[in-house]
Amino acid sequence: MTTPRNFRYYELVMAAFVTVLVCSNLIGPAKIAQLELPLVGVLTFGAGVLFFPISYVFGDILTEVYGYARARRVIWAGFAGLAFASFMAAVVVALPPAPFWTHQSAYEVAFGNAPRVVAASMVAYFCGEFVNSYVLAKMKIATQGRWLWSRTIGSTICGEAVDSALFYPLAFYGAGIIPDDKLPLVMLAQFITKVGVEILFTPITYQVVAFLKKAEQEDYYDRDTRFTPFTLRA
């Protein structure tokens, strides 16, 4: 029987992944931001889109260094964190406010996400993250460990495409919040922004991956991995 390896930084990367994921889903979506950019013009976006792609960066790092199976456990940890944060927000918003507390309406705007939006977010996250990890693991074998940038960007394109394609129709189609004919434009804008963040973080990803591979003495290739998402075995 093989003794499980102990890693120095695996739990820290897991904690960072879950923190970014929960914060970007809990804090960011409540605010719609607007910036005027040179050559681009006015850009309107949900504030969370600036930080959510960082979870994909951590997902790339986990799969690249530790392999799909260990990344799978982190994805499930993130799913559990999102589920608890959504449950806690729903309970806290539903609690009757004290008569002297006058901020209930603001609190509901910030944290009172509709169940449909929460469910859509969970489904999109689950599918997108596993697609991201799977594609990166397969590309690492196909490229024989070369061209890390192609794996991080390529897997993010696939994962974020799945995420955006699932979340926006599931959350908003027919709801009257975003006109149905505008949904494809919103999806495209969010997808481009998320992939752009991944590209900007590529130099940092290289540095972190190199550090972890050296520190952990690990550079995992998923040649014999069972790629089902429905297990926590590493």
What pLDDT digit, counting tens, does each position of 43-64 carry? Answer: 777 777 788 889 999 999 999 9
Tell me what pLDDT residue 109 has: 80
36 beta partners: 42
Does residue 170 form part of some domain? yes
Mean pLDDT of 200-223: 97
Q: Outline where DSSP puts E strands in the chain.
A: 32-37, 41-46
Q: What is the pLDDT of residue 2?
A: 53
The alpha carbon torsion through 224, 229, 233, 234 (nearest 10 deg) reads: 60
**pLDDT tens digits for 169-185?**
998 888 787 788 988 88
Cβ atoms of 77 and 126 within 8 Å: the answer is: no
Write out the residue range of the structural domain in which residue 207 sits. Answer: 10-96+103-211
Residue 1 placed within a domain: no
The total of structural domains in the chain comes to 1
User: Is residue 45 in some structural domain?
Assistant: yes
% the chain with pLDDT above 90: 65
Q: Does residue 231 sit within a domain?
A: no
159, part of any domain: yes
- pLDDT given at position 3: 60
- Name the nearest CA neighbour of 56 among 140, 134, 131, 156: 156
Cβ neighbours of 215 (radius 10 Å): 12
Does 68 reside within a domain? yes
pLDDT of residue 169: 92
Q: Identify the pLDDT of residue 199.
A: 93
Query: Residue 77: its pLDDT value, please?
Result: 97
Tell me, yes or no, if the pTM score tops 0.75.
Answer: yes
Residue 126's CB is within 10 A of a number of other CB atoms, namely 19
CB 84 within 8 A of CB 25: no
Identify whether 157 is part of a domain.
yes
Query: Could you give the CA distance from residue 18 to residue 208 in angstroms, rounded to a whole number?
Result: 17
Whether the per-residue pLDDT at 75 is higher than 90: the answer is yes
Is residue 39 one of the residues assigned to a domain? yes
